[in-house]
């Protein structure tokens, strides 16, 4: 079992970096996507991600129930991304406690996986304090979820302007 976290700002290269990590394992890769094509812009983003991935990678689309989605997958898993997953949780009106329990269940399910699991997420706590309750709640929840995953991970990376900075873990030979 190995968990990795890849975080950073919007368009920082997180997904491409995570895909490189996953592809380097030599194991079959399953891409677990949390985004939904609910508008034309998101449809374009999803299409771009699909075009970039190798054709032999499997894709599982799961916006809400990530812990269950990981069960039974063999090989390497990329979960892209926790940011949208937390947003999806809020949109179905889950309480903060429910979201945090779901995050605990996700970490537990990932820890049981025999291969590498790479989580992709946005770093949202470094900017301006949001001006409304929902946006502050989202920022706080995502920060707590990111912390849970980071603590459980053996490696963590921050992407800034396309450059990876190791936050946790030892370089491998």
Over the chain (173 residues), the average pLDDT of each successive run of 10 is 92 94 95 88 84 92 96 96 96 93 97 97 88 94 97 97 94 66
Q: How high is the pLDDT of residue 41?
A: 87
User: What is the DSSP annotation of 138-159?
Assistant: HHHHHHHHHHHHHHH-SEEEEE
b/e 35-62 (16+ beta carbons within 10 angstroms → b): beeeeeeeeeeeeebeeebeeebeeeeb
Catalytic residues: 49
Q: How high is the pLDDT of residue 150?
A: 98
Q: How high is the pLDDT of residue 47?
A: 85
Domain spans, the chain: 2-168
Within 13 Å, how many C-alpha atoms sit on residue 9's CB side?
7
> For residues 124 and 156, what is the distance between their CA atoms, to the nearest angstrom?
16
> For residues 143 and 78, what is the distance between their CA atoms, to the nearest angstrom?
19
* CATH fold of 2-168: Rossmann fold (3.40.50)
> For residues 105 and 145, what is the distance between their CA atoms, to the nearest angstrom?
11
Q: How high is the pLDDT of residue 173?
A: 56
């Amino acid at each position: 079992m190995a968990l990795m976290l890849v975080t950073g700002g919007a368009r920082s290269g997180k997904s491409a970096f995570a895909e490189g990590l996953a592809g380097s394992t030599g194991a079959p890769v399953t891409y677990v996507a949390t985004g939904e094509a609910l508008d034309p812009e998101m449809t374009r983003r999803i299409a771009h991600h699909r075009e970039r991935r190798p054709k032999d990678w499997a894709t599982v689309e799961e916006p809400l129930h990530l812990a269950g989605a990981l069960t039974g997958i063999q090989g390497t898993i990329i979960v892209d991304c926790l940011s949208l997953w937390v947003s999806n949780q809020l949109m179905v009106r889950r309480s903060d406690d429910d979201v945090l329990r779901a995050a605990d269940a996700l970490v537990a399910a990932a820890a049981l996986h025999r291969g590498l699991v790479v989580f992709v997420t946005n770093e949202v706590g470094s900017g301006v304090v949001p001006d409304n309750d929902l946006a502050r709640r989202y920022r706080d929840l995502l920060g707590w979820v990111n912390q849970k995953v980071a603590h459980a991970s053996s490696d963590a990376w921050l992407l800034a302007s396309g450059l990876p900075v190791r936050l946790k873990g030892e370089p491998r030979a």
